[in-house]
Structure 1
């Protein structure tokens, strides 16, 4: 093993000697390919997450009697319920069976569920919607599994390829395609609507659902050929995972990532799913002008995108935690502005859409970018998929609850309270982030593996670590004692906590 000297500053760089070995040129190219393949298909997840935004409006026009508020919530929540199950199950799978196995499985599920949803029929219209609920649940299982499987793969590959830029690169291949999926879904909807016309709305939504099947297939071959990361080879635990010790070691980080993700999805998902419904309620003649609602919705999605790039620029400079708190503050500021002035601001549609978009842009800047990054960096490789999947699943539970509560809040308290509650969630999000989320700036992920490894040994765990069942000493080349000294020196820095 090389002479290992972890960087003692708060920001690592590619020139520092770190625990993950320097890859050769060929290995670096393979790592970059793994990053792209792991993250690229997440655009299909973003597309699926936003597919119901305009479809909810379309169904309300085409099936005004059958598509009730209850059915709308049920169809929208089907994806979320599937995602919760998928995130937990695939999170465990990608730790036990490997990242590639999980990624291939999720891709096939998205395609299979999407095909069934496209062909959804029933003896009655209500029966068709129930079939959509089941099919969207299958798609949700796949898209939910993409979160831990793709994100952990992207983070580990980026750790090997370019440590200094791991955070920004991770964001560019995860939250950027997820966020871009929203405007993409609206663009596809508008194009198909223009081609098919308002007299063929059934054709419009079926074509939009069908296109969602094609997106993950574009990189399927490359995902099939992905290489296993060095971190997984050396840090996986395939048997006797000590979950009680995992909870004891990571309880604080889990409260942080799970709690913040719950609050973020509680606000952002229902606001995304029902944003077109909100806009259509203030657009004149929206019931007959579906295209105009879609155009305003596209502008809203476009305004939300720049936050992704700003967050990517800030995450190394000020740290992940501080960036996330700035993002939550946007919910507080713009949620109060829109909520307190709702009756007046909705009379000026461009101003309303701009402020609404800025609120969502801050969400992307902060928790949208940072939650996936923090969940991939805060935990050791052996349980990264499990803890990431659990955090994301709690987040999607928040999304399901938020979606379920959105219509009752809107109907009983008024639309303005959906924004005021978003502001309240922003305050709670800042508090949860400050007290429970670790301050990370991007050190080598291998250090966290060794910290976790040492904790397990000190607490009597005697299992094996490594993809091939190697012991601890074999994994780190017989230099575990030397690495202990390096970790102790590393822990004296402020790279892990304030």
Structure 2
């Protein structure tokens, strides 16, 4: 039988839902709101960037970003995110969740503003500056993943922990749709000001000089929600589980949670002293490999294949919508009109598919469990992607575009009411407190490696090879169809590897991670000394 918990941890596990829970959701959730806004708004403005910086005067086609530039602009933030997840995940276990938390937010604010101020003497200079700042923006965004998940899991009670972590992650949906709304407002505002006949007569060349302000405003807006929560983040106390189990100061943990829970908690000095004297295994140890090696492999592989599909769909929605005919050809629209229609399309998909999926997870995750939702999500994503890919030519026929968009929205719904949410939640529950942030960071970084493959791979696999038949920069139907089959295969792999991930529903974090059993085995063996391997 597992050993008794520290009193402060028991108090957290059985605490009724209180105001501090909702405060923590908002504080952590606004970080994810900003993350989604920053990562996905770039897909709204890439075509505008192509028109502004790569249009050749007199050409019959609008400017578009060259494939290598488009790949860099879309993917560089993901590279930064991967690095940030690994670094801040490790830092969250070494310095504490709270101390690393403020660093990520300030990095996001500074680089968000700097991205909008990108400068250069020519197109290459502007794109290089933009890519530089978006890398470091992604670095800050990456840190938010392990820290927000770990903080929320360690603040929550065990009965509704899944819903609370899912609610934090669900703020991504609002960040996504807010990006679309901001782009709609900005493009509509500039369209109203620059609606001169000269621009309407020649849509290809109709890129008003002020369009250069539009994409900058859209990118910089992401700094506002991050700034709004900085003070609140700094006022949060360190999580009790970090203070008690990692810093080994159970007395301080009890004092912090006495204020948060508004109840008196007095920790048993003998139990706290026993905790302080206990050695623990590290990440690079045989004991970790034995206990959690398969779990870490499961979380990494599931997140990796999920993000190949999820980010391919998100970053290149505009190309898919153009390929199936939902968006008009670029040469029939002015630059600001194209931005408006791309933003409208992505906002509709986010509203109808993405956001409902997140909140279905919030509603059901503590009822049916993480395992069932993840399996169902991978299965249904496979079904809908095959449903799009097999009869692809039917969907691209005039009159069937609405059906394609409905099916496409369902893939987002079951991604979010499925593995896109659970892959974020589970790594924050099934690993020991001293390695929780690190392991979540490793799992999340595996996901971003998949996102990078999705972003670069989709661009080149689906890139048009016959400019005479389509607009430059738009994918061909054959490329889109093959990409859908590849993404369906990724979902099948995720379905299989879900069986390596344990269910944490209804358990305390110590039960889910096996920390209580670990302590018991050490006591029964008569040794209190397992070799410690630094992380």
User: What range describes the TM-score normalised by the shorter chain of this pair?
Assistant: 0.7 to 0.9
Distance in 2 (alpha carbons) for counterparts of 1:62 and 1:99: 42
Q: Matched residue of 2:479: which SS?
A: coil
Distance in 1 (alpha carbons) for counterparts of 2:462 and 2:154: 42
Most deviating of 83-92 and 413-422: 413-422
Q: Note if 1:147 corresponds to 2:191.
A: no
The 5 Å alignment of 1:78-477 reads: 78-159=76-157, 163-174=158-169, 176-197=170-191, 199=208, 200-236=210-246, 242-243=282-283, 244=285, 245-281=287-323, 282=325, 283-287=327-331, 288=333, 289-290=337-338, 291-304=340-353, 305-346=355-396, 347=398, 348-411=400-463, 413-434=478-499, 436-447=500-511, 448=513, 449-454=515-520, 460-461=529-530
Give CA-to-partner distance per residue, 1:57-85, whole Å, 9 cap, x none. 22233334572111011111110110011
The alignment of Structure 1 onto Structure 2 pairs a total of residues equal to: 448
Q: How high is the TM-score relative to the length of structure 2?
A: 0.78
Q: Note if 1:57 corresponds to 2:47.
A: yes
Distance in 1 (alpha carbons) for counterparts of 2:372 and 2:147: 26
Give CA-to-partner distance per residue, 1:165-223, whole Å, 9 cap, x none. 1111211122x111222111111111111112262321110001110111211111000
Distance in 1 (alpha carbons) for counterparts of 2:434 and 2:487: 35
Distance in 1 (alpha carbons) for counterparts of 2:173 and 2:341: 22
- The answer as to whether partners of 1:332 and 1:423 remain within 8 angstroms in 2 is yes
**Is the alpha carbon distance of 1:74 and 1:454 closer, same or farther for their aligned partners in structure 2, counting shifts above 3 Å?**
farther
The aligned residue for residue 76 of structure 1 is 74
Distance in 1 (alpha carbons) for counterparts of 2:147 and 2:221: 23
Distance in 2 (alpha carbons) for counterparts of 1:355 and 1:294: 19
Distance in 2 (alpha carbons) for counterparts of 1:64 and 1:422: 31
Distance in 1 (alpha carbons) for counterparts of 2:139 and 2:520: 35
Q: Note if 1:37 corresponds to 2:27.
A: yes
Distance in 2 (alpha carbons) for counterparts of 1:31 and 1:193: 38
- The answer as to whether partners of 2:30 and 2:225 remain within 8 angstroms in 1 is no
How many angstroms does 1:4 deviate by?
Answer: 5.2
Q: How high is the TM-score relative to the length of structure 1?
A: 0.84
The aligned residue for residue 494 of structure 1 is none
Q: Matched residue of 1:242: which SS?
A: coil
- The answer as to whether partners of 1:34 and 1:227 remain within 8 angstroms in 2 is no
Report the RMSD for the aligned CA atoms in angstroms.
Answer: 2.7
Give CA-to-partner distance per residue, 1:94-124, whole Å, 9 cap, x none. 1111111111000011011112111101121
**Is the alpha carbon distance of 1:187 and 1:75 closer, same or farther for their aligned partners in structure 2, counting shifts above 3 Å?**
same
**Is the alpha carbon distance of 1:432 and 1:237 closer, same or farther for their aligned partners in structure 2, counting shifts above 3 Å?**
farther
The aligned residue for residue 473 of structure 1 is none
The aligned residue for residue 485 of structure 1 is none
Distance in 1 (alpha carbons) for counterparts of 2:501 and 2:13: 31
**Is the alpha carbon distance of 1:140 and 1:452 closer, same or farther for their aligned partners in structure 2, counting shifts above 3 Å?**
farther
Most deviating of 28-37 and 84-93: 28-37
How many angstroms does 1:400 deviate by?
Answer: 0.4
- The answer as to whether partners of 2:40 and 2:179 remain within 8 angstroms in 1 is yes
Distance in 2 (alpha carbons) for counterparts of 1:18 and 1:104: 25
- The answer as to whether partners of 2:376 and 2:418 remain within 8 angstroms in 1 is yes
Give CA-to-partner distance per residue, 1:275-302, whole Å, 9 cap, x none. 1122134222444141223222211111
Give CA-to-partner distance per residue, 1:455-474, whole Å, 9 cap, x none. 67769426699xxxxxxxxx
Distance in 2 (alpha carbons) for counterparts of 1:128 and 1:240: 50
Distance in 2 (alpha carbons) for counterparts of 1:128 and 1:210: 15
- The answer as to whether partners of 2:280 and 2:531 remain within 8 angstroms in 1 is no
Distance in 2 (alpha carbons) for counterparts of 1:212 and 1:152: 23
Most deviating of 74-83 and 440-449: 440-449
